[in-house]
Amino acid sequence: MLTGKSFIGNSRGTGTAVSGSAINPANGEKLSPETIAATDAEVRYALELADSAFHAYRKKSGSEKAVFLRTIAANIEALIDDIAARGPLETGLPEARMRGESGRTMGQLRLFADLVEEGSWVDARIETADADRAPIPKVDLRSMLTGLGPVGVFCASNFPLAYSVAGGDTASALAAGCPVVVVAHSSHPGLAEIVAGAIQSAAQETGMPEGVFSLLFGGGRTIGKSVVTAPEIKAIGFTGSYAGGRALMDLAAARPEPIPVYAEMSAINPVAIFPSALKNDSESLATAASGSLTMGVGQFCTNPGVFFIPATGEGAEQFTETFTKLTSEVAGATMLNAGICSAYANATTSIQAQPNVETLLDVTTDDFGVGAPSIFRTTATEFINNAALTEEMFGPATLLVTYQNTEELLALAESIDGQLTTSIHAQPEDDISDIVEIFDRKSGRVIFNQFPTGVEVCSSMVHGGPFPSTSDGRSTSVGTMAIFRYTRAVSYQNFPQQNLPVELQDANPLNIKRMLDDKPE
């Protein structure tokens, strides 16, 4: 039974002010229940609970946190039929996507559980004392990573599970020992409530301190500003638009105590195609490219928004023709919400209106909430000299940019801003070293002979990139490295053994990997 009320620690909100309701993007129908905005007092109490919980939660062992994370996953699994039923109504995404994304969400939680249970992630370093060292005696010094404090998490619109209430930001923050205060997304409050209930129950079942998790409904800007500016909050996780991410960055920087914002914002994810790739098999390449572009109505942060392709040569025209034909056969589909659908229409209209841009495919539709594929084409010179052509079209649209020679291709690569991904299609014998050197400066993930859609959740994944794709290109929002966003290092000098964290004690009771006097122990 959904109520539309916030989760304040172990309790539920008691306010009465309606903040809105979910809208079925397929038909505009308002869904029940209406969401009730958290009151100012409830927001303040959630923040105070999170601050109080941090002092107890940070002392929980890796094994205890692992049990908590696995219990959240198990509780979500028990509710998967409810998720599969509610999700399509709120997002327009199919039931299969709901079940698949639930699996990814549970997988992330269990991956972090394994990480903290094993324990080596804390990067323990021990330098033993040497009283006889000359000219200055060496002190005993030991360091490790520890949680920053309570984290504010903003849910994403395009991943209502994997990047939302129990998504990667929440999983990595909880793994690091940080309580989480989640700001729900207005597009899918029912899903948020289902998952929040799973987390709240898990916290109580495993004896976690009250306030380790809260979820707030209400006006995103009002509630969001309260969370970002609260002194209890020590970091922010966000996935969404550039404008939204930048606003949070500015708020966080203006605080008396500035805090880090880990915002994933926008990217066009360029795909560079070498002549040899087209010569080898342009048809198969076009087929894969079309599938990547139109998957999920193009509503992925790694959607290929730009292709750098040879202007002439064997397979060049065939690639364009096949790519356009196959994409034209993909029917438009319901987008996540009216705002995204409108923004997509505006973005494609803007690109189409730019000088020297040719429209190869424009499947216009008046169907409510539907986004249909579009393909545009321009030259390298136009792309490099017109910043408007680098704007993200969040949906199933892309821009083909033709280049005349290798020099133009490298100039195109240099012209792009920071990206989540860059891709190269070539033959193994091609010399791609120059463009790789550029792309690995420009993106968090460089891909060879594959397409960027699809983000593997594992220890080696980097889902991040230089600004403006993210606010901090040193981090990732997917994979176990995400835990480091919500940590800081602490050194202990000349401490008695019994007062050290167990990770730094000589006996190494957890048997974790450590550095001892600059060498692996």
Q: Please list the active-site residues.
A: 264, 301
Nearest partner of 305 among 338, 269, 330, 277, judged by Cα: 269
With 0-12 CB in 10 A as exposed, 13-18 as middle and 19+ as buried, what is 448? exposed
Instruction: Output phi, psi for 127, to 5 deg.
Output: -115, 115
CA distance 7 to 182: 9
Answer yes or no: are the C-beta atoms of 183 and 6 closer than 8 Å.
Answer: no
Q: 3-state DSSP call for residue 291?
A: helix
Answer yes or no: are the C-beta atoms of 150 and 47 closer than 8 Å.
Answer: yes
Integer CA distances (angstroms), 166 to 13, 181, 192, 202, 443, in order: 19, 11, 9, 12, 26
CA distance 272 to 285: 12
Give exposure, 135-146, as e/b (b: 16+ Cβ within 10 Å): eeeeeeebbbbb
CA distance 365 to 345: 10
Nearest partner of 264 among 404, 393, 191, 157, judged by Cα: 157
Beta bridge partners of 154: 183, 238
Q: 3-state DSSP call for residue 159?
A: coil
With 0-12 CB in 10 A as exposed, 13-18 as middle and 19+ as buried, what is 5? buried
CA distance 243 to 254: 17
Q: Quote the tokens at residue 368.
A: 């409510």
CA distance 480 to 111: 7
CA distance 158 to 188: 10
Beta bridge partners of 399: 306, 376
Q: 3-state DSSP call for residue 170?
A: helix
Instruction: Return the CA Rg of the chain.
Output: 25
Q: Quote the tokens at residue 315.
A: 């397979």
DSSP 8-state symbol, 295: G
DSSP 8-state symbol, 38: P
Q: Give the N- to C-terminal CA distance of the chain in Å, as an integer.
A: 53
